C-alpha cells in the first residue's frame, strides 16, 4: 500500500499540486489524500471506497487508474492471505454470536411518527369540506345551475 501511496505522491509533486488542491478537485478531504499517500489503510472504514479513491486519484494525476487498482487488489490479496485460518474462524464465530439477539435487545428502528394532533386536524378539515359539499348540494345554492330567463326585445 505504501508503494502505491509513494507513486501517487511523487506524481502529485511532479505535477506541482498541493494536497488541498487535489482534495478539492476530487471532492475528498485532505486527510484522505494524505492517508492514501502514506499507505494508511486503517484510516478508511471501507476498502471498497478506498479502491475507487485510489483509482480516481491515479486518473486525476494522469496515471493508469486500472493498473493502480490492480496493484491495490494484489496488495489486499497478499495481506488477507497471510491471516491465519484460526483467526478467520474466530472472527466468524464472534460475528455469528453478535447476530443472535433476543426480542428485548433488538434495536428499534426509527419510524417517522405523525403526531396524533396532526392526524386529528386533517380528519377535521376533511369532515368540514365533506359537510360543506353535502349541505350545499342539499340546499341547491352553489352547485346547481339556476335557470334565468331574460326578456330580449327585438
Best CA proximity match to 4, nearest among 69, 60, 61: 69
Mean pLDDT over all residues of the chain?
A: 79
Range with top average pLDDT, 41-45, 102-106, 121-125, 130-134? 121-125
Residue 143 has pLDDT above 50, yes or no: no
pTM for the predicted model, two decimal places: 0.51
Instruction: Specify burial of residue 67 (Cβ count, 10 A radius: 0-12, 13-18, 19+).
Output: exposed
Confidence band, pLDDT 50/70/90 cuts, at residue 130: very high
Residue 81 has pLDDT above 60, yes or no: yes
Residue 11 has pLDDT above 50, yes or no: yes
Residue 110 has pLDDT above 50, yes or no: yes
Tens of pLDDT along 54-68? 888 888 888 888 888
Residue spans of the domains in the chain: they are: 2-86
Residue 102 has pLDDT above 80, yes or no: no
What's the rounded mean pLDDT across residues 102-121?
A: 70
CA gyration radius for the chain? Answer: 34
What's the rounded mean pLDDT across residues 11-17?
A: 88
The fold of the 2-86 domain, in CATH, is 434 Repressor (Amino-terminal Domain) (1.10.260)
Residue 128 has pLDDT above 90, yes or no: yes
How many alpha carbons lie under 13 Å from residue 153 in its C-beta half-sphere? 0
Amino acid at each position: 500500500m505504501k508503494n502505491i501511496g509513494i507513486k501517487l505522491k511523487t506524481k502529485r509533486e511532479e505535477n506541482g499540486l498541493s494536497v488541498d488542491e487535489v482534495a478539492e478537485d476530487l471532492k475528498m478531504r485532505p486527510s484522505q489524500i494524505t492517508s492514501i499517500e502514506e499507505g494508511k489503510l486503517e484510516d478508511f472504514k471501507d476498502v471498497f471506497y478506498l479502491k475507487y479513491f485510489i483509482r480516481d486519484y491515479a486518473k486525476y494525476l494522469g496515471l493508469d487508474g486500472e493498473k493502480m487498482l490492480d496493484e491495490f487488489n494484489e496488495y489486499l490479496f497478499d495481506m488477507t492471505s497471510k491471516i491465519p485460518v484460526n483467526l478467520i474462524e474466530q472472527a466468524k464465530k464472534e460475528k455469528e454470536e453478535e447476530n443472535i439477539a433476543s426480542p428485548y435487545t433488538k434495536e428499534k428502528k426509527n419510524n417517522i411518527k405523525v403526531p396524533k394532533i396532526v392526524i386529528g386536524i386533517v380528519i377535521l378539515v376533511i369532515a368540514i369540506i365533506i359537510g360543506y359539499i353535502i349541505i350545499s348540494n342539499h340546499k341547491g345554492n352553489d352547485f346547481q345551475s339556476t335557470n334565468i330567463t331574460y326578456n330580449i326585445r327585438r
